[in-house]
Amino acid sequence: MSQHSVRTRYQGDEVVVIAGYDRPLSDLFLQVLVHEDAPQATEERVLYSSIHEPQNDWTDINTVSDKLIELDIEVPDSLLEAVYLDQLFHAGNRMVRHHLNQPPQVLLVG
């Protein structure tokens, strides 16, 4: 499974967006988590998870992109491109941290 993450903003609060490709399931996934330092972190940790919308086509990168647009969450293009390439090449065991204003950091390649 690949995992690409970025710290960004959702309705003024800091969140962590995690997206990736699940090689065994051949599906993409998306999660939006409250950043641990945010005031509401004790109330609700998961703001969004693609697992709660199985009716969506999680084999299509546009589903990930459209959901982020719907949530009004900005992520760097590098995150969506990397998730798409992981799916295209059936990559697993990759972990990359993306940033809004600097190049991504590869944390794990397996």
The contacts found for 35-41 with CB under 8 angstroms, 24 or more apart, are 35/7, 38/13, 38/14, 39/13, 40/13
What is the mean pLDDT of the segment spanning 84-108? 94
Rounded to whole angstroms, how far apart are CA atoms 96 and 89? 16
CB atoms within 10 A of CB 47: 18
Q: What is the reported pLDDT for 38?
A: 54
- In the structure, what pLDDT confidence band is assigned to residue 92 with cuts at 50, 70 and 90? confident
* Residue 95 CB burial class (10 angstroms; 0-12, 13-18, ≥19): middle
Instruction: Name the least confident of 14-23, 42-51, 79-88.
Output: 42-51
Q: What is the reported pLDDT for 37?
A: 63
pLDDT tens track for 20-75: 999 999 999 999 998 666 555 454 589 999 999 999 999 999 999 999 999 999 99
pTM: 0.89
What is the mean pLDDT of the segment spanning 80-96? 95
DSSP state of 41: G
